[in-house]
Amino acid sequence: MSSDTLSQFAERLREAGLVLHDSIQADGQLHRCGTDSKPKGKDGAYRIHLDAPASAWWQNWRTGESGTWTAKADRDMTDAERQALRRCVEKDKAARQAEQERRWAAAAKLARSVWEAAAPAPAEHPYLEAKQVPSLGLRQARDGRLIVPVLGENGKAQSLQFIAGDGGKLFLSGGKTAGGFFSLPAKGNSKTGPLVIAEGYATAASVHLATGYACLVAFNAGNLEAVATMARAKYPQREIILAADNDVLTDGNPGVTKATAAAQAVGGKLAACPAHEGKPTDFNDLHRWRSLEAVRAAMEAAQTASLPEPEEKLPAGFSIRTGGPMPGLWHTEPKEDGDPVETWVGGMLAVLGATRDEKGTAWGLLLEWPDADGTLHTWAMPKAMLAGRDSSAVIARLADEGWRFAAGQKARNLFYKFLAEYETRKRVLCVPSTGWHHGAFVFPDATIKNMSDVVGRVGRPYGDKDFQTSDKEKTCRTMSDGLGDERIVLQVQTAHNPFRTAGTLDGWRESIGNRSRGNSRIMLALCASLAAVLLEPSGLESGGINWTGSSSTGKTTALVVGGSVWGRGASSGGYVQNWRATSNGLEGLAALHSDAALCLDEIGQAPGRTIQEAAYMLANGMGKGRAYQDGSAKAIRSWRCMVLSTGEKGLAEKIADEGGHVQAGQLVRLIDVPADAGAGMGIFEDLHGHESPQAFADVLKRAAATDYGHAARAFIDKVQEHRDEAQKDLAGFLDRGSESFCPADADGQVQRVARRFLLCAAAGEMSAEWGILPWEKGEALQATRKCFDAWLSLRGGAGAAEDTAILERVTFFIEQNGASRFQDVDRPDATCIHRVGFRRKVAEGTEFLVLPESFKAEVCKGHNARRAATVLLEAGLLLPGEGRNLMRRSPVDLPDYGRKRCYTILIKEGWQDVAE
């Protein structure tokens, strides 16, 4: 063998992490050597054969890697050389196996010796205390480390695992771990119950404590299938459950993938640990961060592992490369007369499934990609965007959330080609609005189903965020409409997501929940914000509350506090929006806040016409009808939302100031509540020790921008858990409360408003009962009742608002036009421009004889003429005709009309002489 050949092999050994003790030996014998991690040790080995062709074998026991090398490439060898090489390889393989068996036997002998000499592990060992589990058959080494035996099929130790107090783990050098296990017997030593296989000791111990099941420790994810196969051979009929660690932040989620493969191999079940707050989680973490009951519930929810789907292929020419200086999406274009052309298209990108709505339309792709900080982003991209005028909006959306893309039109066109041609068997249900859909609550970044968490696609939790508000876990329940566990996502073009979280729920309870107590308007804001979740189960229509009053009363503080239930409580860059938007813009906001609170500040910023349309539109829960170019109808947006609004003027006053006319129906949809609570402190009644209302408002605003977004998610979680019971109790609460809130003769509109206030009260009372709001029973009801009474007082009583509006409209018209547009019957020659009727003095006062068409078109404009006449009659202002005729024949001749029937309105002396 030439020196050049030896140099090549020595270089290969160095690349493999081996360190030679002396010069390389090419004598066909096995030679021990060191490794990079232990240069003077004997954890490496090599063997060189001089027979033509020269060949070599090497092994690094530290890394578990091995390899072969030949001086000649296969294409340069003769047949004789190939046969000689094959004989060398077979000989080396046998020698390696013999050497491995020798090392394993020596390690097993040492393991049994160390185990027998070790003392039982104390319960107060730092590792056991940190993991909150007992020692179940463990021992302790002289240096204080725990010892877990790695048992072979014969039940004897073949190696050892050492665990330090800080959790550091090492295996006995040279010991065999493949197929090795440690057993935790079932309570009562039962041999018939489920057998759980987990990775680590602490995980298995937590499962054992929670369930009493027998558990096997496999030590690592790669060993799960070997242990499961051994267990199935020993227990052919026993139920085997693989307890999967959720390595949510590790590429491919090996904890779930390996456990799934093991369960599939033995016909077992998979219990996937739910991720906690988006962090990697095993069942010991679940035990410590939540409870043993949570572990038990997850184990009881174990499902038979489904068979793996065939691997999906990317569109022709495309590939995903994970290594190299430019990882991500690549395209290769073959060339007949030269090397293929490779183009980097963009960064890492995964297609999680094809999206479509319930009708089989609105198709798209659910995309996932990491930004430069490693944070994962998802987007349900509508495929229609690829066919639009500006398909670059797709890349703009991805880039806005951190996806790297290649410059140049060629790369862009290739990317559009990739998206357009991508085919997948995975299906995802897309919805056009947030809120309740098929028993799940959809946010832009997460979907909360009828459970606390669920592991969906391998490597990702079901939603990007998960949470827990109590120790009791919910188990997955198939939805009634047959969708099962199909993922549900929001599909919109915008990247805007107001539903952010920060801080903690406990922090929010203390800084917002406690400080709101004793302040009826602030408490109502919280209750109304939460009540949005109950619109769907209660069956009530959308609507809202408008806090009215001067700029110094603190109205915006109520919005900020209410907004903190769902997102960052702030009016600048936070959850709180403003009224300064078009009708189309408000439609988009409503769809993005369906079944949530929509906070709109300062109603005075929008034109009266917009406000008038919006009051109906937001409450009706439906946008405008629109058409495609061919005239066919587009899908109409729909939503349910609870509007929280502020304004220096009420709805009616705002619309009237700009020449509009408010309908009574609008007033019961967006309810005006005086912001001033009457305590001389604006919106506040209790400053909780702060020196001034402004100081207290500042504290609340800072708190709302520090801890936020958790309350709504916790409330949704609880509503799902208790949905049937809550829906039944809610109906009874609304019926009983309406009777106590309203006077016996209350108009139907007042009763509708009362039910809206009661819905807010119900949300507050339920949240208090579930520990989300730190209030006593009855506090929410008392606060909302106080605000309802303030609304009722501002309204002027419990009668019909439309009747009041009619009286105000007619008397106002007469006040403004009594002398100019009603011709004096005693002065027939006098000029009267835009005449609507006549007037004449009578003993009781002044009669205004209104011509029928003018009465409909102007005097009672915006109201039904017959209804208006009836209201005037009941108020004693209308003089009716004979029988049931509301119009009276004139007792005198009217210029140009004779004795025509008119609506005759009598304004008596002492009320106001509007004719003068």
Residue with tokens 């360190």: 19
- For residue 484, the model assigns a pLDDT of 45
Question: Is the pLDDT reported for residue 915 higher than 70?
Answer: no
The tokens for 129 are 């205390």
The tens digit of pLDDT for each residue in 357-412 reads: 888 888 999 998 888 887 788 888 999 889 876 678 899 999 998 999 999 999 99
Residue 386 · residue 394 · CB < 8 Å: yes
The arithmetic mean of pLDDT across residues 257-271, rounded, is: 91
The verdict on 777 and 872 lying in the same domain is no
Residue with tokens 């060993």: 223
What is the domain range of residue 465? 318-340+356-368+376-473+483-490
CA 629-633-639 angle, to 5 degrees, is: 125
The verdict on 808 and 776 lying in the same domain is no
- For residue 1, the model assigns a pLDDT of 47
Question: Is the pLDDT reported for residue 854 higher than 80?
Answer: yes
The verdict on 150 and 214 lying in the same domain is yes
The verdict on 50 and 186 lying in the same domain is no
- For residue 131, the model assigns a pLDDT of 94
721 in a domain, yes or no? yes
At 633, the amino acid letter reads: A
The verdict on 86 and 8 lying in the same domain is yes
| Confidence class for position 479, pLDDT limits 50, 70, 90 | very low
- For residue 13, the model assigns a pLDDT of 86
The tokens for 608 are 């009266």
117 CB burial (10 A radius; 0-12, 13-18, 19+): exposed
The verdict on 547 and 657 lying in the same domain is yes
Question: Which of 81, 104, 127 corresponds to the end of one domain?
Answer: 104
- For residue 458, the model assigns a pLDDT of 27
The arithmetic mean of pLDDT across residues 433-455, rounded, is: 75
Question: CA–CA separation, 137 vs 152, rounded Å?
Answer: 16
- For residue 319, the model assigns a pLDDT of 92
SS (H, E, C) 196-223: EEECCHHHHHHHHHHHCCEEEECCCHHH
The verdict on 283 and 329 lying in the same domain is no
Comparing CA positions, the residue from 740, 361, 733 lying closest to residue 531 is: 733
The arithmetic mean of pLDDT across residues 42-57, rounded, is: 76
513 in a domain, yes or no? no
- For residue 112, the model assigns a pLDDT of 93
| Confidence class for position 73, pLDDT limits 50, 70, 90 | low
The tens digit of pLDDT for each residue in 84-143 reads: 666 666 666 676 677 778 888 988 999 999 999 999 999 999 999 999 999 999 999 999
The tokens for 55 are 């060949």
First-residue to last-residue Cα distance in the chain: 128
Quick one: how far is CA 80 from the chain centroid? 67
Give me the sign of the Cα torsion angle 125, 126, 130, 131.
negative
For residue 880, whether the previous peptide bond is cis, meaning omega lies within 30 degrees of 0, is no
- For residue 472, the model assigns a pLDDT of 30
pLDDT-above-90 percentage for the chain: 44
CA 442-638-636 angle, to 5 degrees, is: 125
95 or 834, which is more confident? 834
Question: Is the pLDDT reported for residue 486 higher than 60?
Answer: yes
The verdict on 775 and 822 lying in the same domain is no
Comparing CA positions, the residue from 549, 569, 615, 618 lying closest to residue 589 is: 618
534 in a domain, yes or no? yes
- For residue 495, the model assigns a pLDDT of 58
- For residue 290, the model assigns a pLDDT of 84
**Span of 331-340, 347-356, 447-456, 695-704 with lowest mean pLDDT:** 447-456
- For residue 456, the model assigns a pLDDT of 31
The verdict on 322 and 264 lying in the same domain is no
**Which DSSP state fits 650?**
-
- For residue 51, the model assigns a pLDDT of 66
Task: Give, in order, the Cα–Cα distances in Å from 233 to each of 153, 194, 302.
Answer: 11, 15, 21
349 in a domain, yes or no? no
Residue 164 · residue 145 · CB < 8 Å: yes
The arithmetic mean of pLDDT across residues 630-655, rounded, is: 75
Number of domains in the chain: 5
Provide the mean pLDDT of the chain: 84
Question: Is the pLDDT reported for residue 81 higher than 50?
Answer: yes
| Confidence class for position 10, pLDDT limits 50, 70, 90 | confident
Question: Which of 740, 766, 795 corresponds to the end of one domain?
Answer: 795
Is 508 strand, coil or helix?
Answer: helix
How are beta strands 55-60 and 18-19 bridged, if at all?
unpaired
- Count CB neighbours of 74 within 10 A: 10
Residue 18 · residue 44 · CB < 8 Å: yes
The tens digit of pLDDT for each residue in 778-803 reads: 999 999 999 999 988 877 555 566 77
- For residue 145, the model assigns a pLDDT of 95
Question: CA–CA separation, 374 vs 395, rounded Å?
Answer: 19
Residue with tokens 């007042």: 750
652 or 413, which is more confident? 413
The arithmetic mean of pLDDT across residues 20-42, rounded, is: 82
Question: Which of 761, 795, 829 corresponds to the end of one domain?
Answer: 795
Buried-state track 308-329, b at ≥16 Cβ within 10 A, e below 16? eeeeeebeebbeeeeeeeeebb
The tokens for 139 are 């021992």
Question: Is the pLDDT reported for residue 651 higher than 80?
Answer: no
Comparing CA positions, the residue from 446, 450, 442 lying closest to residue 478 is: 450
pTM: 0.58
| Confidence class for position 218, pLDDT limits 50, 70, 90 | very high
504 in a domain, yes or no? no
The verdict on 335 and 391 lying in the same domain is yes
**Which DSSP state fits 580?**
-
The verdict on 732 and 853 lying in the same domain is no
478 in a domain, yes or no? no
The arithmetic mean of pLDDT across residues 498-508, rounded, is: 92
For helices 520-531 and 779-795, what crossing angle results, to 10°? 100
| Confidence class for position 517, pLDDT limits 50, 70, 90 | very high
Comparing CA positions, the residue from 530, 684, 683, 544 lying closest to residue 596 is: 530
776 in a domain, yes or no? yes
Question: Is the pLDDT reported for residue 28 higher than 60?
Answer: yes
- For residue 723, the model assigns a pLDDT of 84
- For residue 50, the model assigns a pLDDT of 66
- For residue 3, the model assigns a pLDDT of 64
**Which DSSP state fits 387?**
G
The verdict on 387 and 290 lying in the same domain is no
Give me the sign of the Cα torsion angle 373, 378, 383, 389.
negative
Question: Is the pLDDT reported for residue 460 higher than 60?
Answer: no
The alpha carbon torsion through 358, 361, 362, 363 (nearest 10 deg) reads 100
The tens digit of pLDDT for each residue in 627-642 reads: 455 454 556 778 899 9
- For residue 277, the model assigns a pLDDT of 65
658 in a domain, yes or no? yes
899 CB burial (10 A radius; 0-12, 13-18, 19+): exposed
The tokens for 182 are 């440690």
